[in-house]
Amino acid sequence: MALLNILTYPDPRLNKVAKPVAQIDERIRTLVADMLETMYEAKGVGLAATQVDVHERLLVMDVSDERNEPLVVINPRVVWKSDEIVLGDEGCLSVPGFSGDVERYAEIHIECENERGDTYKIEATELLAVCIQHEMDHLMGKVYVEYLSPLKRGRIKTKLLKEAKEAERDAA
Ligand code: GNR
Ligand code: NI
């Protein structure tokens, strides 16, 4: 097992569009284990492969309080979404220290594969529904800050770029 580096906004690699996972093999199973370890260590409820600079359609989630219900989602397909929309405050491991309101479908059903290659369905509501949409956006190269006002997005971008420069300077 290994901890993976999480890319920080506005890293352009967060805007790459992921390709389908062609084969669910040992490489993918190792990536899944490492992504789960990275997500739990970072105390996130989800992590998309894009965030660890792997541009394949794969994400992990755990919205349980006990942090013992990992979900592995490979090649997700949306099969149904509600007409109802909800507004919620979202954070992102790639946008540390910020949050913002985003509109999402209240309920969404997806079909996908797990790390063994079995196809299954998730009927998601509440935080799980929000998280799935947030992670599927990552796979499309989209970070939630792109839904915020240009003013708020600009402030976030400036602050994170400044922090990245300071971290680079301190490392030197
Ligand atoms: O940990 C996370 N919390 C969260 C809260 C509200 C809406 C979405 C999320 S996902 C986020 C982890 C993350 O960045 N996943 O890509
Ligand atoms: Ni995120």
Residue nearest to atom 13 of ligand 1 (CA): 92
Lowest mean pLDDT of 13-17, 41-45, 167-171, name the range.
Answer: 167-171
% of the chain beyond a pLDDT of 70: 100
**62-120: pLDDT as tens digits:** 999 999 999 999 999 999 999 999 999 999 999 999 999 999 999 999 999 999 999 99
Measured distance CA(54)–CA(2) in Å, rounded: 15
Is 1 a residue whose pLDDT tops 90? no
Spatial separation of the C-alpha atoms in residues 21 and 1, rounded to whole Å: 21
**Can you tell me the mean pLDDT for 4-27?**
98
Residue 45 CA, closest ligand 1 atom number: 1
25 contacts: CB under 8 Å, gap ≥ 6 = none
Name residue, tokens 């009927």.
Answer: 123
Name the residue of 86, 134, 139 to mutate for ligand 1: max ligand atoms within 8 A of Cβ.
Answer: 134
pTM: 0.98
Q: Is pLDDT of 172 > 90? A: no
Q: Return mean pLDDT, the chain.
A: 98
